[in-house]
């Protein structure tokens, strides 16, 4: 557990924050469809992982307010990237699923971003690459807390 009153831990947290933010900004520029916002892409990515979700579930997963998610889902639906289907148990709700068009776009986006990261990783030595591979599951855990 980091001790944020300890100088080394504060420096490490600061360095991690800064690196993650810079890398995130660079990855955001590797978009396939410039008409989609990063939030819209994130919603499609979440649907790719979970398969289907209600707008309320998506709002919680994406850390946005439900009315904002309702607008995002409507926009994605108008672009043909998601479908709204009746909820199997609650007729008052809808379930959001991604379309084949969305999945193809996500796959191309992943390919482009992975290629970008691969060019960066080529600049690491074997020890740095091993450390980064070992850190990936920890970063994934942080991303989902």
Q: What is the pLDDT of residue 75?
A: 96
Instruction: State the CATH class of domain 31-143.
Output: mainly alpha
pTM summary value = 0.74
Q: Residues 85-114: pLDDT tens digits?
A: 998 888 888 999 999 999 999 999 999 999
Which residues touch 144 (CB under 8 Å, ≥6 apart)? none
Upper half-sphere CA count for residue 46 (Cβ side, 13 Å): 22
Mean pLDDT lowest for which of 6-10, 54-58, 96-100? 6-10
Cβ(2)–Cβ(9) under 8 Å?
Answer: yes
In the chain, domain spans: 1-30, 31-143
| Mean of pLDDT values over 18-32 | 88
Residue predicted with more confidence, 2 or 36 = 36
The pLDDT of residue 9: 83
């Amino acid at each position: 557990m980091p001790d944020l009153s300890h100088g080394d831990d504060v420096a490490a947290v600061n360095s991690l924050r800064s690196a993650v933010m810079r890398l995130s900004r660079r990855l955001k520029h590797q978009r396939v469809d410039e008409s989609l916002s990063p939030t819209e892409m994130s919603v499609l990515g979440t649907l790719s992982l979970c398969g289907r979700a209600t707008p309320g579930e998506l709002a919680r997963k994406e850390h946005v307010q439900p009315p904002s998610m309702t607008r995002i889902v409507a926009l994605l639906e108008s672009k043909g990237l998601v479908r709204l289907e009746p909820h199997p148990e609650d007729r008052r709700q809808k379930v959001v699923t991604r379309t084949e068009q969305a999945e193809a776009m996500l796959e191309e986006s992943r390919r482009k971003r992975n290629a970008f990261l691969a060019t960066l990783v080529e600049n690491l030595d074997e020890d740095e690459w091993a450390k980064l591979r070992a850190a990936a599951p920890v970063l994934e855990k942080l991303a989902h807390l």
